[in-house]
Amino acid sequence: MELTSVLNQSLTYINSFALRCAVGLNISGHIQAYGHPMPLNELARSIPISPEKDMMLGRLMALLVQKEVFAQDEAGCYMLTPFSNLLLTERSNMGAFTCFITEPAFTKHMCAMSEWFKDGEAGSTVCMAANNGKDIWDLFRENHELGNLFNEAMASRCKQQMGVFVKSYPHMFADLNSLVDVGGGTGTAVKIIANAFPMLRCTVLDLPHVVAKASKDDSFNVVAGDMLKKLPPADAFLLKNVLHDWCDEDCVRILKGCKEAIEPRKDGSKVIIVDIIQDFENNNAKATETGFLFDILMMCCHGAKERKKQEWHDLILAAGYSGYKIHPTQLGADCVMELYP
């Protein structure tokens, strides 16, 4: 039994690359377009692949069915599942996240982890050790393809998160006139918020080369800037999956900057954090495991971490906030925190 467990754990990376292959072949899209359960030969011709590879495709599909990415009917024809629906471009397009997280230019960091533990310099990250001292943001700036993959991955995750967020927590936007999404990438989150609350003046702030790729949309403003330096004034600030990229000292700086930019303060002013709380009681083993996986990812890429409740408490108080509230989560691994200046 132990041998099987070691073999299984060692081979689980193949699941990620099988999923990447399914995204690259647009298998979800072909099954959706077919309109009803799809036989293997029809799937193969729609991709298309040569007939001698049909059986190999069947072997790939067998693994993906076992992982519940797809399903089969009694005749062996393939169907979409809630999982594969998320891979569709017109849905959340989580396939973009899959492609980014399995991109060779990115996964090589994972291969350098043991060397970094043994020989890495103090203050360096696994990413820096694997890329001649360059941090992850340097890579995204220099490698435009990787940077675009990152932006698409964050947007795909954001679509799924924010659809749940605006429906589950509408009270957070009551009485607000303005909101800034700090480190908001290309504007996916603020567009969803602005569409749900059209009277709310929304702004996305990120580095110049990031917001340059933001969609042109009259529903929100775009500001190029550095969140570690200065933030535009607003009633509320959103930090969605941002602070886990940063060390404690920088998190305090960012939170203080948000607090100072709430001017003038009024009832309802706040900072909203959407991020993982590692020891949050959600009774969801998959979400808990996802939190640990993200923690290792943050360690390797940024030298940062996912945090426990006490660590969040310490950051929030160190930044001078008068109080905060953690809301019940419907966002999987993520939690929602509301900070009061």
At 228, the amino acid letter reads L
Q: Report the first-to-last Cα separation within the chain, whole angstroms.
A: 54
Pairing of strands 201-206, 220-224: parallel
CA distance readout (Å), 244 to 111, 231, 275? 22, 19, 7
Rounded distance, CA 109 to CA 115, Å? 10
Backbone dihedral region for residue 303 (phi beyond 0: left; psi -120 to 50: alpha; all else: beta): left
Task: Say which DSSP state 227 is in.
Answer: T
244 among known catalytic residues? yes
Active-site hit among 30, 109, 244, 302: 244
Strands 70-72, 201-206: pairing is: unpaired
Place of tokens 């998190």: 251
Nearest to 232 by CA among 210, 193, 201: 201
Beta bridge partners of 201: 178
339: which DSSP letter?
Answer: E
What CA–CA distance (Å, rounded) separates 224 from 208? 5
Is 43 within 8 Å of 5 (Cβ atoms)? Answer: no
- Which positions ≥6 away from 307 have C-beta within 8 Å? 244, 275, 276, 277, 278, 315
How far, in Å, CA of 23 to CA of 89, rounded?
Answer: 10
Catalytic amino acids? 244
